Amino acid sequence: MPGLYDTCLRPCLAHPIVYYSLQAVRWIPVVFIVAIVCWGYYAYVFELCFFTVTNVFERAIYLFGFHVLLILFMWSYYQTIFSPIGQPSSKFFLPLELKHDIGHTVNPTESRQILDRFVRQNDLPVTMRAYDGSMRFCEKCQCVKPDRCHHCSVCGQCVLKFDHHCP
């Protein structure tokens, strides 16, 4: 039975105006952080270092230390925003025949056995289990979820360690 996402949200999100509006809105927090950093730069460099500190040597030390930390922060922030998200490797995705087998199982025990066999045969490094002891499986991506992997409803894909998210 299709859920709310399939019946209502997916068609709505597929519309170009909605899609591009959401893409623009997603950048608001990034712009907000950059604005705060710019304000902090102005306040520290100009208001404090140039207008308050009179000793040239002390001012140079303050400016050097601040710019080193600023460069480290900006590089880290850039990497966080623009690095591609970690996705499960192809070995975690089920082959077509197993997808078909799981789709035609009568009870959850059969699908659990199919997934357990798939994990053992491919020697997948999976230790985390679902609440019922079965392998964690993403119905949308049709893959066995590696440890600390979660499906992101915004990206529409499984994200490793959920360590990065859409900006």
Tokens matching residue 56: 């040239």
Same domain, 74 and 96: no
- Minimum mean pLDDT among 63-67, 74-78, 105-109, 119-123: which range? 105-109
Highest mean pLDDT pick, 57-66, 77-86, 103-112, 148-157: 57-66
Tokens matching residue 76: 């880290």
Same domain, 71 and 120: no
Q: Which residues pair with 157 in a beta bridge?
A: 152
Same domain, 74 and 10: yes
Same domain, 75 and 15: yes
Domain that holds residue 130: 90-162
Max Cα–Cα distance, the chain, nearest Å: 80
pLDDT beyond 50 at 13: yes
Closest CA to 167 of 71, 72, 84, 89: 84
Question: What's the pLDDT band for 1 if we cut at 50, 70, 90?
Answer: very low
Same domain, 97 and 40: no
Answer whether 0.95 is exceeded by the pTM. Answer: no
Residue 166 bears catalytic tag: yes
Q: Is residue 74 part of a domain?
A: yes
Q: What residues have CB less than 8 Å from 115, skipping those under 6 apart? A: 102, 134, 135, 137, 144
Could you tell me which residue, 72 or 8, shows the higher pLDDT? 72
Q: What are φ and ψ of residue 5, in 5° steps? A: -60, -45
pLDDT beyond 90 at 43: yes
Closest CA to 55 of 63, 43, 44: 63
Same domain, 101 and 158: yes
Same domain, 65 and 96: no
* Locus of tokens 């499986």: 137
* DSSP-based three-state secondary structure for 152: strand
What rounded mean pLDDT belongs to the chain? 84
When divided into structural domains, the chain yields a total of: 2
Same domain, 66 and 95: no
Amino acid at 17: I
Q: Is residue 167 part of a domain?
A: no
Annotated catalytic residue: which of 8, 12, 155, 166? 166
Question: What's the pLDDT band for 132 if we cut at 50, 70, 90?
Answer: confident
pLDDT beyond 60 at 53: yes
Same domain, 75 and 98: no
